[in-house]
Structure 1
Amino acid sequence: MYGLYTILAALFSFLILKWMKRRRYCLDTKRLDGKTVLITGGNSGIGKETAVGLALRGARVIIASRDEDKSRKAVREIKARSHSMNVLYMELDLANMKSVREFCKSFLQKEKRLDILINNAAMPSVLDWTDDNFSMCFGVNHLGHFLLTNLLLPRLKESSPSRVITLTCSNYKYQKLNFQDLNYNLFPFFTYCRSKLANIYFTQELARMMEGKKVTAYAVHPGYVQSNWTCHYSFLFQMLMKVIMFMFYVSCEAGAQTVIHCAVADEVVAHSGGYFSDCRPANLQAFAKDAGVAKKLWEASERLVKLA
């Protein structure tokens, strides 16, 4: 009898875990032939799976990241899995504003189109600083992508209708922005939450500014994903998180589905500035929909990155 209870308990636990890890998959098969996609941090995790999904649809996919060896290896894998040779790598360090500017200058010289920009790269909760003395989370997750997107906007407008997709996280709800200290770096997890909230405000203000210009913007929560973000932490923490991620987190392929959906689906155009999760629009906390805060953050970000 106890054996039967054990089996039933194990089966129940298994079903609960499967239910918690359920995700919708993008079923839209629209082709992207002739389209150019730029993915930051596309050499691993969600970014790499997104690259595979969009290359399979015929897009020209450009991986932008700072680790050349890892990126070139990723490019070879993406080509093999997608059966597309139209995948390439360009060097970009989002923790260095000079690198962002140099990358954009090179991109605009070499590439005649930019149809989809995917701001995927992100730093987890680390107590560190960028080359420009911004907290690593805020500097990479928000400011680096803010400058990148603004410098590439001319090409996005020329290639319209075009899209900007920025990955965020549902952890945004645990913090609010403090304009007296946007560079907050006392508690790394809180800094990460603020950077993800900034991604949402950025998306909303970008959508507002691009109204009528056929450039749409979306913030995506991919879910909690079994990616390699733990590499920034101790071995013991990595081992602990491997167990937790195996039990509760979804695969990188599953995590990429909402990004792919926002890149290809026609119905998302009506939700420019929106927040998406599990391949559909999702609700935000009321404070995360404040247009005044979004505009204020945009103006502060312009000053911080010295954007004329």
Structure 2
Amino acid sequence: MLTLFFFIFGTCIGSFLNVVIYRLPLMVRQGNAANNDAFNLMVPRSHCLKCGATLSASQLIPVISWLIQGGRCRRCAHSISCCYPLLEVITGLLFAAVFACWHSVLPALALCLFISALLALAAIDLSHMLLPDAITLPLLWCGLLWSTTGTGLVSAESAILGAASGYLSLWVTYWCYRLLRKREGMGYGDFKLIAALGAWLGAESINFILLLGPLLGCVYWLAFRFKKSSDNFPFGPALIIAGLIWLFLQAPIMCFIHNNESLSRIFLFFNSSIPYK
């Protein structure tokens, strides 16, 4: 029952993420303050981008409203992108998967917050080549603070090391590339993103993310290089996918090990012989 609740809750959050993904880049580009009375995440109310008709509560039900309306505006019949319900479903499925893996409400809610921010960042980076500080920096600090509560996935030490090593790894790569090629190879938002991933997932995740992330980025570049006039591509989604894979494949295993006294002792014995994880 709770798994179903997390799915429904996730679709509702996904509906709000659609607003964030559309409005936040406009706010950043136009220099709007977050408390601007004319345009922010809350004002104006959700409306059709074609005719400007304000959407009623019945038209804002996640997924269902889009299906009932046949993917079109009720007033002007303008087509509504399927990306909106798709994000809602993906968010719901990820929320349900989180609870299915952790079986505890508070840690699951914290991880749902983490995943929500990552989904918003991935979609914004894909659309605008932008990773807003308004999301990456709070995500970083929330990960570090969560690690101090004792309910986080990793210890505070691992979170700090993960944030620092992740940031410095891409920072060094950036400057080496810039010195050799005389141009920028990535944006500073990528540094902050991987620091946030390290804060939530720990130092153990950084090597995995830095290995899989660039591989996924190369796949994306090869798939779309003939459709774009520029060689630039968003690197954030690749890092995010790698981080989510680590979360769902490795974190439950690590939690199981640390919760089992015998396995924890074996893990610590072998881990102590490794100079750096």
Query: TM-score if structure 2 supplies the norm length?
Result: 0.32
TM-score, with length taken from structure 1: 0.30
Q: For CA contacts below 8 A with separation 6 or more, give which structure has more relative contact order.
A: 1
Q: Which has the larger radius of gyration?
A: 2
- Tell me which protein shows more strand as a share of its residues: 1
